Amino acid sequence: MIHDEVEILYVEDDPADAELTLAAMRRSKMANTIHIARDGAEALDFLFCQGPHSGREFLAPKFVLLDLKLPKVNGIEVLRAIRSDPQTEFVPVVILTSSLEQKDLIDSYKLHVNSYVQKPVDFEKFQQIVQQLGLYWLIVNQPVPAKTSAAATASGQAGD
């Protein structure tokens, strides 16, 4: 099995947005390994080690940066798959999208998205938001321990 630790799974179909985001992350020097999925199906293949990623050893990313308007499988369906699998249910997912539609917001939060951020149009603001997201989710946030058991979490023994 191939062991590739990925800090961020970035799911984005717009090449310009992807390049801007990567430039901001490189500038902040927070993430060493970022895997880019260009559509929802590719994201699911990567996360669940299937299709072209079937040789990859499962290792959840530190967080998923997810666009909603994706080809093949939309962002809501990717989020639903992440939350419905015991291996990925606790992976932080941040929606980074141009959509401010109430339905998208509500659907995302119903599926326990960790954060919903609208992409700013202004280049400088976009870079600042990406850097803040990286800082928070990679440095500040305390993730759920990798060996969390559903039983311990359900009984409240996982800690506060």
> What's the confidence (pLDDT) of residue 148?
55
Summary mean pLDDT of the chain: 86
> What's the confidence (pLDDT) of residue 78?
98
Measure the CA–CA gap between 31 and 12, rounded to whole angstroms: 17
pTM of the model: 0.84
Confidence grade of residue 6 (pLDDT, cut at 50, 70, 90):
low
Residue at token pair 């954060």: 115
Which of 62, 68, 76 minimizes the C-alpha distance to 31? 62
Thinking of the domain 8-155, which architecture would CATH place it in?
3-Layer(aba) Sandwich (3.40)
Comparing 31-35, 57-61, 113-117, 136-140, the range with the smallest average pLDDT is 31-35
pLDDT digit string, tens, across residues 85-118: 999 999 999 999 988 899 999 999 999 999 999 9
Confidence grade of residue 159 (pLDDT, cut at 50, 70, 90):
very low
Q: Greater confidence, 70 or 143?
A: 70
Q: Where are the domains of the chain?
A: 8-155
